[in-house]
Structure 1
Amino acid sequence: MAAISEALTLSAGALEVVLAPAIGGSVGAMRWHGIDLMRRLSDDDRDAGNVLGVAMFPMVPYANRIAGNEFDFEGRRWQVLPNNPPERFNVHGSGWKQSWTVARSNAGAATLALEVTGGAEPYSYRAEQAFAVSEKGLSVTMTLTNTGPVAMPFGFGLHPWFDRDRDVTLQFSARRFHLEEPEGVSGDPITLPPELDFAKGGSLPGGWRNNDYGGWTGEAIIRYPSRGAGLRIVADPVFKHLMLYADPTKPCFCLEPQTNASGAFNRGRWNDPDEGVIVLAPGASAAGAVSFAPFALTFPAA
């Protein structure tokens, strides 16, 4: 077993993926033919253990914010703690704030594991991320197990960060769009308006965007023309939602595959498949995989 403080590099062919287990069970870099396809963790952020500087971190045992830091489930009110000051509300659960253990590893694969026992917060769970690198790309299989004494609502996802090149484009299809309420909380969905649709591809929005795209088809494509490369994201059907975060004042943006709708824990529609919440009995597990496949961009002859 590797020490959790060490970076871990996986490689296959032209692809190299660097893991940072101690920094939230994160990915520190994803490079293909020497091209960064996720935002690279800087040396300063690595030394500081800054999880907000990584290439990708896991979201467990749910994704996005819980407004008011509480929700009602099966006749009981459950409370969580704020975890990302100066924000008031808990965001992305507890997994990204923990050191993960390297359970298994070899040249092209590694499994990171995390055990959390409920104390001040209600969740007890075991989470695993199984990373596998091949010449085709990176696959991440997330597994979440309820180790607590009662059934609880769960969710999980991945939070990658991408460089905001001037010519970067996005392409993905979804059916719904969650409006953003104050303090980053997502509201109810609306039918996706054409001006917010990326089905045919388009540049990043010029203004602020922090919205959940529901009814996501499970595929998204990012193209970096100036780098001559792109990245195809393909997720299992359990990932029903894709979160787009784009702040024009920052040099990065996020596309986050996740199982539960943002804000779902406050709406409490636990049996609504569109909300994507997974209720796990004690000892029960849920799992899903997301792949990140690099590809070369080809351009017509001049």
Structure 2
Amino acid sequence: MGAISEAVTLRAGALEVGLAPAIGGSVSAMRWRGVDLMRRLSDDDRDAGNVLGVAMFPMTPYANRIARNEFDFGARRWRVLPNNPPERFNVHGSGWKQPWAVIKIDATAAVLALEVVAGAEPYSYRAEQVFAASEEGLSIKMTLTNTGPVAMPFGFGLHPWFDRDPDVTLQFSARRFHLEEPDGVSGDPITLPRELDFAKGRPLPDGWRNNDYGGWAGEATIRFPARGAGLRIVADPVFKHLMLYADPTKPYFCLEPQTNASGAFNRGRWNDPDEGAIVLAPGESAAGAVSFMPFAAP
């Protein structure tokens, strides 16, 4: 498939993007005009191979948690394994826990790939990330192919981490809000309450937030006024959901574009476009791109 690389750096104009293929096919840093726009992977976390310390990792072959570590599909019950102790339930699939191969690289672009063969868990798939840096920003196209013998439900997404500056603000539009149930599992959606709406832009919430915003419009803006910069996120329509994780006791927060609703695999509404699960027959693929575009924000 290609060689595993410990580190890759892409540069275009004022943009510098670090990749850590061996640590879950992750982004290790995103800097623009010398300013970090994602949480930078520390030297200690890099040495330890700690994927929970990266700037951004891929979620595949689904995003977020599988409650009870099982789901029903195609007249069968499929089981997955816990993968993020001490959490009880599998979260974000298997892609972020494995090294990815570097298939192609030049000064401004890289292709990373991962092949997984079903074993203790049911999924066989090939995943690919195509990174392209330009003066406008970073584009990441994700492609997921079912290499298994039967049709299966899939999903994918990106899990960026951002520094929680005191003056940071978020802005994005969505139509629904998934309540959080025990163990981080998302429940059914409700109409988005005004006090939880970020359509007009607002600071991060003072309290805990770990919720899926459904019916996402595909754009989000993060502003870091003290850094004089911001980041615009633009996603293809296949990314119907945006997950917000914000713990006021932590120095970071997450804003995660994803195709499937959190909890969708347990609700089993496979034909519901709002749930966003993608059923792929053997050999079928799904793809989508997300762009991260810096801008000056006085």
TM-score between both structures, scaled by the size of structure 1: 0.98
Alpha carbons 2:5, 2:101 under 8 Å: kept: no
1:74 CA displacement? 1.1
Q: Deviations over 1:167-222 (max 9, x none)?
A: 00000000000000000000000000000000000000000000000000000000
Residue in 2 aligned with 1:246?
246
How far apart are the structure 2 equivalents of 1:270 and 1:64?
Answer: 16
Residue in 2 aligned with 1:195?
195
Residue in 2 aligned with 1:293?
293
Residue in 1 aligned with 2:177?
177
Query: 3-state DSSP class of the match of 1:248?
Result: coil
AA aligned to 1:112 is: L
How far apart are the structure 2 equivalents of 1:284 and 1:5?
Answer: 28
Write out aligned runs for 1:221-236 (5 A).
221-236=221-236
Residue in 1 aligned with 2:123?
123
Residue in 1 aligned with 2:161?
161
How far apart are the structure 2 equivalents of 1:258 and 1:93?
Answer: 13
Q: 1:223 to 1:63 in 2, by over 3 A?
A: same
Unmatched tracts of structure 1, length 5 or more: none
Query: 3-state DSSP class of the match of 2:232?
Result: strand
AA aligned to 1:280 is: L
Q: Deviations over 1:254-290 (max 9, x none)?
A: 0000000000000000000000000000000000000
Query: 3-state DSSP class of the match of 2:265?
Result: helix
Q: Deviations over 1:72-121 (max 9, x none)?
A: 00100000000000000000000000000000000000000000000000
Residue in 2 aligned with 1:270?
270
1:4 CA displacement? 1.7
How far apart are the structure 1 equivalents of 2:41 and 2:34?
Answer: 15
Alpha carbons 2:5, 2:102 under 8 Å: kept: no
How far apart are the structure 2 equivalents of 1:264 and 1:103?
Answer: 32
Unmatched tracts of structure 2, length 5 or more: none
Residue in 2 aligned with 1:38?
38
How far apart are the structure 2 equivalents of 1:111 and 1:190?
Answer: 39
What fraction of aligned residue pairs are identical, expressed as a percent? Answer: 86
AA aligned to 1:188 is: D
1:128 CA displacement? 0.2
Query: 3-state DSSP class of the match of 2:145?
Result: strand
How far apart are the structure 1 equivalents of 2:51 and 2:107?
Answer: 24
Q: Deviations over 1:107-164 (max 9, x none)?
A: 0000000000000000000000000000000000000000000000000000000000
TM-score between both structures, scaled by the size of structure 2: 0.99
How far apart are the structure 1 equivalents of 2:297 and 2:119?
Answer: 49
Query: 3-state DSSP class of the match of 2:46?
Result: helix
1:3 CA displacement? 4.1
Residue in 2 aligned with 1:86?
86
> Paired residues, what number?
298
Query: 3-state DSSP class of the match of 2:183?
Result: helix
AA aligned to 1:197 is: D
1:5 CA displacement? 3.8
1:6 CA displacement? 1.8
Write out aligned runs for 1:90-129 (5 A).
90-129=90-129
1:37 CA displacement? 0.1
Q: Deviations over 1:43-90 (max 9, x none)?
A: 000000000000000000000000000000010000000000000000
Residue in 2 aligned with 1:6?
6
